[in-house]
C-alpha cells in the first residue's frame, strides 16, 4: 500500500497536464519574443547568420562536429540536393578506459582543437585543400556565419580556454600547426544543422531540435531584426526555466552540476541527466523502503554502474533483464520501469510544450500552417514511446490543430548541415 502510494505520488509529481503544457507554451512564446526584442529572457535567441538553403549547394566540404559525447569529421560531396559521404572518422571525447578525457577542466582549448585537427588529417591527403563547416553544439554568440564566441560550456564539459573565444579561430590555428590546408568557413549549432538538412527534405521544415545528450531547439525566423530577412535562430532552449514543474530531484541535480542555475530545462529533458534523475528517485524510494525491501543486495548491485539513459531505456524495455542483472523481485523491476516511464513522459511533454510555443510564435499567436519539426538525438530515436508521447501532448494541447504538426527524425543533420552551411558561406562570401 505504502509502495503504491509512493509510486502514485511520484507519477503525480512528474505529470504535466495538458493545461500546464499550454501554459508553458505561452510562457515560452513570450520568452522568445522578449529575447528577440533584446529584453531579458532565459532564451538566448542567438542569430545563426544563415537562412534556408537553396537546395542547389554543390562541392566537396569537410566537416567537424563536436557533440556532448563524440567528435566526428566527415568529407561530404553536395550535388544539387543530394549528397555523398566520402569518408568519416569518429572518436569519443572521453576514453572509456580513462586514457584521455577531452571534456575535463584539465584539457586546454589548444589540446581539444589539436585533437580535432588530428581527426581531420585522417581524411585529407597531403597537399589537398578544402573548406570546412563546423558544428559546435554549445551556446555561442555568433557575429557572422564563420565567427562565434562560446558563451559557456554545457553538458558538463569544462575544457579551459575556450569560453569567450571563437572555436573556428582555435580550429584554424590547430589546422595550421599541422599544415592542414583546410579553411573553416562556417560554424553552426547542431539544431541549425538539423534544420538545414530538413529543409532539403520537407518544404514546411521550420523547427530543428535535438533530444540527445543535450537539448535545444532552433527555428526559422521569417524577418529577423538584424537583417529584416529570413534567419535561423538558435534559441538555446535548454536554458528555459519559467513555469516548469521543478521537483526536489531537479534541484539536487542542478545544485550538483557544473552550471547551477543554468540549463534547467535541459537538466529535465536530456540524455545527459535523465539517468541521474532516475538514480535520485531510486535512492529516495530505497531509503523509504519502497524499493528492494527484501533484497538489499539489489541496491548494491545497481550502484556499481552509473545509471545512464541507456539503462533507463533498458529498465523500460526489459524488466526481465533488470531482475537478472540486479537480482531483484519482479515488483521492484516494474517499479524501476514505472519510475523511468514517468521521467521520460515528463521530458517529452515539456519538450512538446516548447515546440508548441515556438509554433505559436511562428504563426503569430495561433497555429494555422503546416509545420515539420525536425528532430535528432538518441532520446527521440531510442527512448521507448517518445515520438508517441510528443504526438499525444500535441493532441491534448491543440486538439484538431495538432494535425498541422509533424515531427520527423532527421538523422545526422549536425554533420551534413555543417557541409551545407559551408557551401552557403562560400557562395555568399567567395574569397
Ligand atoms: C547546447 C546546445 C546544443 C544542445 C544539443 C546543449 O547543451 O547548449 O547548443 O544544441 O545541447 O546538442
pLDDT of residue 3: 65
Centre of ligand 1 from the C-alpha of residue 294, in Å: 42
**Contact, 272 vs 258, CB < 8 A?**
no
CA-nearest of 133, 127, 130, 168 to 147 is: 168
Mutate to test the pocket of ligand 1, among 70, 162, 190 (most ligand atoms within 8 A of CB): 190
When pLDDT is averaged across residues 85-102 and rounded to a whole number, the result is: 94
Count of Cβ atoms closer than 10 Å to residue 54 Cβ: 14
Centre of ligand 1 from the C-alpha of residue 192, in Å: 11
When pLDDT is averaged across residues 306-310 and rounded to a whole number, the result is: 96
pLDDT of residue 80: 82
Atom of ligand 1 nearest to the CA of 68: 12
pLDDT of residue 293: 87
Q: Model confidence over 337-382: pLDDT tens digits?
A: 999 999 999 999 999 999 999 999 999 999 999 999 999 999 999 9
What average pLDDT does the structure give for the chain?
95
**Contact, 413 vs 374, CB < 8 A?**
yes
CA-nearest residue, atom 5 of ligand 1: 214
Q: Model confidence over 66-82: pLDDT tens digits?
A: 987 899 999 999 998 89
Phi, psi torsion values for 271, nearest 5 degrees: -60, -30
Cell numbers that stand for 266 in this block: 535541459
**Contact, 51 vs 232, CB < 8 A?**
yes
Centre of ligand 1 from the C-alpha of residue 263, in Å: 10
Q: Model confidence over 116-160: pLDDT tens digits?
A: 999 999 999 888 999 999 999 999 999 999 999 999 999 999 999
pLDDT of residue 429: 83
Centre of ligand 1 from the C-alpha of residue 56, in Å: 28
Q: Which residues line ligand 1 (CB under 6 A)?
A: 67, 137-139, 154-155, 189-191, 210, 212, 214-216, 236, 238, 266
When pLDDT is averaged across residues 86-111 and rounded to a whole number, the result is: 94
Across the beta sheet with 405-409, what order do the strands follow?
Answer: 46-47, 231-234, 215-221, 205-211, 371-376, 405-409
Give the separation between CA 75 and CA 77, rounded to whole angstroms.
7
Q: Model confidence over 325-341: pLDDT tens digits?
A: 999 999 999 999 999 99
pLDDT of residue 79: 93
Q: Model confidence over 82-92: pLDDT tens digits?
A: 999 999 999 99
Amino acid at each position: 500500500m505504502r509502495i503504491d502510494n509512493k509510486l502514485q505520488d511520484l507519477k503525480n509529481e512528474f505529470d504535466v497536464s495538458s493545461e500546464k503544457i499550454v501554459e508553458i507554451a505561452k510562457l515560452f512564446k513570450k520568452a522568445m519574443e522578449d529575447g528577440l526584442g533584446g529584453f531579458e529572457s532565459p532564451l538566448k535567441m542567438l542569430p545563426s547568420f544563415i537562412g534556408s538553403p537553396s537546395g542547389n549547394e554543390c562541392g566537396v566540404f569537410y566537416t567537424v562536429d563536436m557533440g556532448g559525447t563524440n567528435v566526428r569529421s566527415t568529407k561530404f560531396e553536395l550535388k544539387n540536393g543530394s549528397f555523398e559521404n566520402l569518408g568519416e572518422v569518429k572518436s569519443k571525447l572521453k576514453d572509456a578506459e580513462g586514457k584521455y578525457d577531452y571534456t575535463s577542466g584539465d584539457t586546454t582549448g589548444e589540446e581539444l582543437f589539436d585533437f580535432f585537427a588530428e581527426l581531420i588529417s585522417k581524411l585529407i591527403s597531403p597537399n589537398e585543400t578544402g573548406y570546412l563547416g563546423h558544428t559546435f553544439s554549445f551556446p555561442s554568440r555568433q557575429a557572422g556565419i564563420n565567427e562565434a564566441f562560446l558563451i559557456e560550456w554545457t553538458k558538463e564539459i569544462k575544457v579551459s580556454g575556450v569560453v569567450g573565444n571563437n572555436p573556428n579561430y582555435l580550429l584554424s590555428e590547430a589546422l595550421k600547426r599541422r599544415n592542414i590546408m583546410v579553411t573553416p568557413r562556417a560554424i553552426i549549432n547542431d539544431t541549425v544543422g538539423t534544420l538545414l538538412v530538413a529543409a532539403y527534405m520537407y518544404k514546411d521544415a521550420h523547427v530543428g531540435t535535438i533530444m540527445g545528450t543535450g537539448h535545444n531547439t532552433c527555428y526559422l525566423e521569417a524577418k529577423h531584426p538584424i537583417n529584416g530577412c529570413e534567419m535561423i535562430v538558435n534559441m538555446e532552449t535548454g536554458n528555459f526555466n519559467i513555469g516548469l514543474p521543478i521537483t526536489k530531484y531537479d534541484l539536487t541535480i542542478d545544485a550538483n552540476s557544473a552550471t547551477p542555475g543554468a540549463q534547467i530545462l535541459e537538466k529535465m529533458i536530456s540524455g545527459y541527466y535523465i539517468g541521474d534523475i532516475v538514480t535520485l528517485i531510486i535512492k529516495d524510494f530505497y531509503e523509504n523502503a519502497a524499493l528492494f525491501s527484501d533484497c538489499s543486495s539489489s541496491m548494491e548491485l545497481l550502484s556499481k554502474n552509473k545509471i545512464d539513459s541507456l539503462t533507463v531505456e533498458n529498465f523500460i524495455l526489459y524488466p526481465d533483464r533488470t531482475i537478472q542483472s540486479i537480482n531483484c523481485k519482479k515488483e521492484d523491476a516494474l517499479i524501476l520501469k514505472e519510475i523511468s516511464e514517468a521521467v521520460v513522459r515528463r521530458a517529452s511533454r515539456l519538450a512538446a510544450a516548447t515546440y508548441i510555443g515556438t509554433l505559436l510564435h511562428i504563426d503569430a499567436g495561433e497555429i494555422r500552417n503546416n509545420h515539420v519539426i525536425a528532430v535528432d538525438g538518441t532520446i527521440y530515436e531510442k527512448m521507448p514511446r517518445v515520438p508517441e508521447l510528443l504526438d499525444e501532448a500535441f493532441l491534448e494541447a491543440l486538439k484538431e490543430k495538432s494535425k498541422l504538426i509533424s515531427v520527423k527524425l532527421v538523422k545526422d543533420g549536425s554533420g551534413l548541415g555543417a557541409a551545407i552551411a559551408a557551401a552557403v558561406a562560400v557562395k555568399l562570401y567567395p574569397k
